[in-house]
Chain A
C-alpha cells in the first residue's frame, strides 16, 4: 500500500493519537505505575506528545491551505478546525487529569488510552461526509467515553452514571443508524453530497424526512440538548472532573460541528427539510434554554450545576442553526471557541482546588478565591464569561449569535435567549460567592495542582484577550472554516437567506416566532 503525500497528510493527524493510544496500554502494563513516578510521567508524556504532534501537524496543514483527503476521509477546513478544537480540549483534559488523579490517589494510564481513542473518533466524525464512516466514528468516540464515565468503579454513582449514559447513548446511536438507513433507502447513497442532490430533486418522501429527523435526534443527544439531556448531570457527576469537562466541551463541540456539515451545509438547503429543521431547532433551543437554566438554578452541587449550564449552552448554540446563515455558522464556531476556554476553565477549577470525589458542593470552595488569588481571578473570569458579561469572549459569542438571530427576524427568540442568560447569571454567581464571600474553610492543606492551575489561568487570560480583540480568531480561524463548507456544497443549491434591511419590519417584533 502506497500513499501519496496528500493522503498521508489526511491520515497523520488521526494516526498519531491512534498509535499513541495503542502504546499507552503497553506502557501501563507495568504494575508499578502507581508507585513509580517516572512511569506515570512517561505515560502522560506520550499522550501530551501525541496530541501536540497531531496539533502541530494539523496547524501546518491549516497554514499551507491544503485540504487533504483519503477515500472517505476529507480533512477540509471545517474538519481541521474540529481537529484543532478537539486536540486543545484533550490537552486541557490530560493536564488536569495529572493533578486530579494524584489528588484522588490512583493513577492509571489506561484512562489516557481511552481518551485518545475518543479524540481520534471525534476528529474522524467531523472529517467525513460519508454517513457510515460517520456512524463508525460516532461509536469510536462514544464507547471510550462510556467507559471513562464509569472508570472509578468503586463508586456507586460512577456505575449509575456510566450505565445511564451507555443505555441512552445506545438508543441515540440506533436512532442515528436508522436515520442513515432511511436516507440510504431513499437515495441509494451514503454520501451526503449525493443524498442532498437527489433529495433536492422532486417531491420529498416522508420517509426521507423521518430519516433526517432521526439523524437530528442522534446529534441532539450528543449535543445534550433537551429533551435528550437527562444523562448529562449524572454522567458528569460520575466521571472524573477533567473527563466531565472534556465530555462537555469536545462531545458537544464535535456534534455541533458535524451538525453544521450535515444539516447546515447539506440538508437544510433543501427547502422542505430546511423549514421543518428550522422549526425543530427553534423548539429544541427554547426547551433546552428553559430546562437547562431553571434546573441549574437549584443545584448545590458544583458539577451538576456545570452540567445543566452546559445543557443551556447547547440551547444558545442551536439558536445559531435557527438563523442558519453563513455568519450564524461562523458565530457558532466562535461561540464554541469561547465555550472551550470558559467551560474547561470552570471544570479545571475543580482539579485546581483539589476537590475529590463525586460530591463537590459549592461550600467546598469557601474562601479559596483569597487563598489562590490567581486561580480565583481566572475562574471568576470564566464564570462571568459563561454568564455572558463583557468584556469576555462569552459575551462576544452571544453577541454574534443574537445579532444574527435578530438580523433574520427572530427577535422573540433573541429575547428568550437573553432572559435565559439573565437567569444564568444567578447560578454562575454562586461559585464566585463561595470563593470570595464566604468565610474560608479551616485546616485545609495546601493543594499542589500546577498543571490544572495553569489551564485555568490560561483560560482566564485568553477569555479576556478574545473578549477585547476577537477579530483575529474570527478572521483567522473561524471564517475560513465555514466559507469552505458552504463552497463545497455549492451544487446542492445553497440558499443563503438574506433579508434586506429595509424588509426587516418591526412587525416582526410580534410575529417572528
Chain B
C-alpha cells in the first residue's frame, strides 16, 4: 500500500479526497455529527501524506519532480492523456491547498448548523477538484477539473451562504463559466490543430500561426483565467461570492480558487502563447494597476468587514497579475509568492471574521469597538494577520509585493517604472483601510448599545480556534523570514518559462523540453538577483 502511494502519489492526492468525499456524502444523516470529524481526519491525513511525500522529491533536470503519464482515451482522433506532474510551479500551491482544507474545516467547526454532513463532504470533493486542476498537465484533464471545481463551490455558497446566497452562487457560476466556455473554443481550436491536448504540442503549433490568431487565442485563455483571478473589470462576482459564502467557503475561495487564475497564466497561457502574452503585457499591467488602486479604494468604503476583506483580495490579486505581466523573473517569482501569502493571510482573515461573526452575529464595523479589551487573544491574531496583509516587512505579504514591484520596476518595458511607482501606493492604501478598520473594531470605546456586536462578545478564542490560527501565524512569519523555502522551488521553472516566452520563435516551447547549459547559468544569476532583491 505504502509502495503504491509512493509510486502514484499524485493520483493518490486526487482520488483520496474523491473517495473520501463520496464516502462522507453517502453517510446517513444521523451520522452527520461524525462527518466533520471524518472530514478533518481525512483532510489532515491527505495533508500529512502530501507533505511527507512531496517535500523530499528532487527536481530532475527538466524541473519536474514527479509525473504520471498514461493514455486516457482517444476521442475521434485526438488523444487525451492522463498526465499529472509536479514541479516548482505547483508544489507549494498543492501543499497550500492540502493545508488550507483541514484548517478551514476546523475553523468552521461549529458555524455550519444544518446538513453539516453534506457540507464537509462537498468540501472534501472540492479539494479533489482543486488538486486535480493544480496537478493536471494535459489540457483536457485540466479543463475537466477546472470546471468540476465550480460544482461543489456553487453548492457551498448557494446552500450554506448568507441571505443573498442564491444570487451570489448563480453569479459566481455564470461568470466563471462564461470565461471558461469561451476558453474551451480556443482550447479546441488549438487541439484540432495540434491533434493533441498536450501544451507542448500546442506551443509547437502556435509558432506557425499568424500573430492575429495567437492574439485571439491568448485573449480567450486570459479571459478564463482573469475572471478567476479576478482582474478588474471582471471582479464583480468576487465580493458577492465572498460575502455570501460560509466562512470555510470564503477561506478556501480566497486561499486556493483565486490562485488557479494566476497559476493558469503561468502554466498554460504564457508558455503556449508567449508572443501574444508579451504583446498584451502592457494592457494586463494597466488593468492590474487599476485593480490594485480601485480594490483598495473600494475596500476603504466598506461597512462590512467581510466585504472589506473581499475587496482587499481584488487589490492583492492585482499584484499577482502585475508580477506576471512584468515578464521578469523577479516579478513572476513575486506573483508566485504573493499567491501563496495571499492564500495564507486572506484565508486567515476570513476565518477570523467568521469567528467574530459566530459570536456577534454581525459583521458591520460600526457594531463593534473596543473588541480588544474583551477578546485579547483574538485581537492578537487579528493584528498579526492584518499586518501581514498590509505587507509589513518580516511577514509574508512584504515579500510578494516587494518582488512584484521590484520586478515591474526593472522590467524592460517603457511603462515599468511608472506603473511600479503608482502600484506601490496600493500598499499604502492597504495600510489605510486595514488599520482604519482595526482601529474602529478593536480600539476605541465599546459600542455600548444592547444590540451591538461587542455586547455579544463574551468568550475569547477557545483552544480549537487557537489551534487553527497558530499554524497560519507560524506560516506567515516563516514565509516572511525564510522565503527561499518557497521561492527556491519555483525559481528554475519561472526562469525557464520566461526565457522561452521572450526567446525568438525557433527556441520557443523549450519550457516543455530540456533546457541547455546557458539557461542553467542564467538561472543561477537570477536566483542571486532575487535573493538580493528580497533583502
**Inter-chain contact B165/A437, CB cutoff 8 Å:** yes
B459 within 8 A of A: no
A52 within 8 A of B: no
**Inter-chain contact A421/B76, CB cutoff 8 Å:** no
**Inter-chain contact B192/A403, CB cutoff 8 Å:** yes
Contacts of A433 in B (CB 8 A): 158, 166, 170
- Contact size range, B: 35 or more
B184 closest partner in A (C-beta): A418
A471 within 8 A of B: yes
Within 8 A of A (CB), among B140-199: 143-144, 147-148, 150-151, 155, 158-159, 165-166, 169-170, 173-174, 177-178, 181-182, 184-185, 188-189, 191-193, 195
Contacts of B165 in A (CB 8 A): 437
**Inter-chain contact B159/A436, CB cutoff 8 Å:** yes
B195 closest partner in A (C-beta): A501
Contacts of A471 in B (CB 8 A): 73-75
Most chain A Cβ neighbours within 10 Å, of B77, B78, B189: B189
A180 within 8 A of B: no
Question: Contact partner of A370 among B78, B115, B144, CB < 8 A?
Answer: B115
Min CB distance B477 to A, Å, is: 40
**Distance, CA A167 to CA B115, complexed state (A):** 51
B212 within 8 A of A: yes
Given contacts A422-B178, A501-B195, A506-B210, contact A404 B76 (CB under 8 A): yes
B37 within 8 A of A: no
Contacts of A406 in B (CB 8 A): 185, 188-189, 192
B216 within 8 A of A: yes
**Distance, CA A66 to CA B234, complexed state (A):** 57
**Inter-chain contact B209/A506, CB cutoff 8 Å:** yes
**Inter-chain contact A437/B159, CB cutoff 8 Å:** yes
Contacts of B143 in A (CB 8 A): 390
Contacts of A502 in B (CB 8 A): 208
B213 within 8 A of A: yes
Contacts of A501 in B (CB 8 A): 192-193, 195
Within 8 A of A (CB), among B73-97: 73-78
A196 within 8 A of B: no
Question: Contact partner of A469 among B73, B144, B151, B213, CB < 8 A?
Answer: B73
Within 8 A of B (CB), among A450-469: 469
Determine, out of A35-43, A170-178, A221-229, A407-415, the stretch whose residues face the partner at the interface: A407-415
Given contacts A399-B188, A403-B192, A422-B174, contact A474 B159 (CB under 8 A): no
**Inter-chain contact A509/B148, CB cutoff 8 Å:** no
Min CB distance B104 to A, Å, is: 21
A-B contact count (CB 8 A): 99
**Distance, CA A505 to CA B211, complexed state (A):** 11
Min CB distance B140 to A, Å, is: 8
Interface SS, A side: helix
**Inter-chain contact B76/A411, CB cutoff 8 Å:** no
Min CB distance A359 to B, Å, is: 23
B161 closest partner in A (C-beta): A437
A384 within 8 A of B: yes
**Distance, CA A422 to CA B180, complexed state (A):** 10
Within 8 A of A (CB), among B179-237: 181-182, 184-185, 188-189, 191-193, 195, 208-210, 212-213, 216
B210 closest partner in A (C-beta): A506
**Inter-chain contact A391/B144, CB cutoff 8 Å:** yes
A 317-328 binary contact with B (CB < 8 Å = 1; else 0): 000000000010
Within 8 A of B (CB), among A373-404: 377, 384, 389-391, 395-396, 399-400, 402-404
B 63-77 binary contact with A (CB < 8 Å = 1; else 0): 000000000011111
A23 within 8 A of B: no
**Inter-chain contact B213/A327, CB cutoff 8 Å:** no
**Distance, CA A429 to CA B169, complexed state (A):** 10
**Inter-chain contact A474/B75, CB cutoff 8 Å:** yes
**Inter-chain contact B181/A421, CB cutoff 8 Å:** yes
Contacts of B76 in A (CB 8 A): 327, 330-331, 400, 403-404, 474
A144 within 8 A of B: no
Question: Contact partner of A506 among B73, B195, B213, CB < 8 A?
Answer: B213
Question: Contact partner of A391 among B148, B158, B182, B193, CB < 8 A?
Answer: B148
Min CB distance A510 to B, Å, is: 9
Interface of A with B (CB < 8 Å)? 327, 330-331, 370, 377, 384, 389-391, 395-396, 399-400, 402-404, 406-407, 411, 414-415, 418-419, 421-422, 425-426, 429, 433, 436-437, 469-471, 474, 501-502, 504-507, 509
25 contacts between A and B (CB under 8 A): A331-B76, A370-B115, A389-B150, A390-B143, A390-B148, A396-B75, A399-B75, A400-B76, A402-B188, A404-B76, A411-B189, A414-B185, A418-B182, A418-B184, A419-B182, A421-B181, A425-B177, A436-B155, A437-B158, A437-B159, A437-B165, A471-B74, A505-B210, A506-B209, A506-B210
Given contacts A415-B185, A425-B173, A502-B208, 14 further A-B contacts (CB under 8 A): A384-B151, A390-B144, A395-B147, A400-B76, A403-B191, A406-B192, A418-B184, A429-B170, A436-B158, A437-B165, A471-B75, A474-B75, A505-B210, A509-B216
3 closest cross-chain pairs (CB), A and B: A506-B213, A471-B73, A390-B144
